[in-house]
Structure 1
Amino acid sequence: MEAVVYSNFRSNLKDYMKKVNDEFTTLMVVNKNPDEDIVVVSRAEWESTQETLRILNNQYLREKLIASRKEIAEGKSLQRELIEV
């Protein structure tokens, strides 16, 4: 994770926003007081993280995911070609 001081972040906000979005990277913005540090992520990364948390916090979905991964590991899954419409 890249870190940048607040003043540099503020001066180059547009560039940092572009970098976070284009490179799908996380940026830590640090200040003199560590309690005021923040982390900047792209909207896509935020939504992906929220979806992962939603799945992991849902017992039914979590168990379904674990069972599916087990089937794949044991070779009990089928691979199929996608049909393009």
Structure 2
Amino acid sequence: MEAVAYSNFRQNLRSYMKQVNEDADTLIVTNKNVEDTVVVLSKRDYDSMQETLRVLSNEYVMDKLRRGDQQFSEGNFKTHDLIEVSLDD
């Protein structure tokens, strides 16, 4: 995670936005007042974090995930070939 001073961030906003989106890494924007420091991340990463929080906070979904993980760990699963679907149908 890279850190940059606010004044430098402001002067090079476009390049930092591009960097955050391309590298999928967060950027810390510092300020003299530590309470004004912010973290910049891509919308894709933000959306992913929000979805993860929704899943983790949904007890029903988490129970299903835990049960599936346990079944997999115990070898209690079946494999099968994928079905090929033609786009012409």
**Fold shared, TM-score > 0.5 on shorter chain:** yes
TM-score normalised by length of structure 2: 0.85
Q: CA deviation at 1:84?
A: 4.4
**Which residue matches 2:18?**
18
Describe how 1:34-73 pairs up with structure 2 within 5 A: 34-73=34-73
Instruction: Give the secondary structure class of the aligned counterpart of 1:39.
Output: strand
Larger Rg: 2
Distance 1:33 1:79, change over 3 A: farther
Q: CA deviation at 1:66?
A: 1.5
- Structure 1: 5+ residue stretches without partners: none
> CA RMSD, aligned part only?
1.4
Partner amino acid for 1:6? Y
TM-score normalised by length of structure 1: 0.89
Q: Deviations over 1:14-66 (max 9, x none)?
A: 11101110110011101000100001110110000000000111110111111
Q: CA deviation at 1:70?
A: 1.8
- Structure 2: 5+ residue stretches without partners: none
Q: Percent of aligned pairs with the same residue? A: 49
**Which residue matches 1:74?**
74
Write the distance in 1 (CA, Å) between the matches of 2:23 and 2:30.
20
